[in-house]
């Protein structure tokens, strides 16, 4: 592995770590907000969400997609 390959791999690992941390943070906030409103967080796909919850849900899904894409591109 060349130095540039190692550098690119290191950047991918850093981005992966950042995405995982942000995903955990957003998921925790989403679940907390769901519970605060009397909803079961595990039923998020079956509910009409309020605007603030919908924003968190959308951000969480985007983070999941980006992380999955990153993992597929860096086996």
60: which residues sit within 8 A by CB, 6+ positions away?
Answer: 23, 26, 27, 30
Handedness of CA 54, 58, 63, 64 (dihedral sign): positive
Domain boundaries, the chain: 3-73
Per-residue pLDDT of the chain in tens (75 residues, 90 and over written 9): 444 444 455 666 898 999 999 999 999 999 999 999 999 988 888 889 999 999 999 999 999 999 999 989 876
The predicted pLDDT at position 4 comes to 42
The predicted pLDDT at position 73 comes to 87
> Do residues 37 and 53 lie in contact, with contact meaning Cβ atoms separated by under 8 Å?
yes
Q: At what angle do helices 51-73 and 3-36 cross, to 10 degrees?
A: 160
């Amino acid at each position: 592995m060349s130095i540039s390959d190692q550098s690119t791999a290191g950047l991918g690992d850093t981005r992966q770590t950042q995405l995982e941390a942000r995903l955990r943070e957003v998921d925790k906030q989403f679940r907390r907000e769901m519970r605060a409103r009397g909803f079961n967080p595990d039923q998020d796909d079956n509910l009409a969400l309020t605007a603030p919850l919908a924003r968190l849900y959308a951000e969480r899904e985007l983070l999941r997609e980006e992380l999955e894409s990153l993992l597929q591109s860096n086996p």
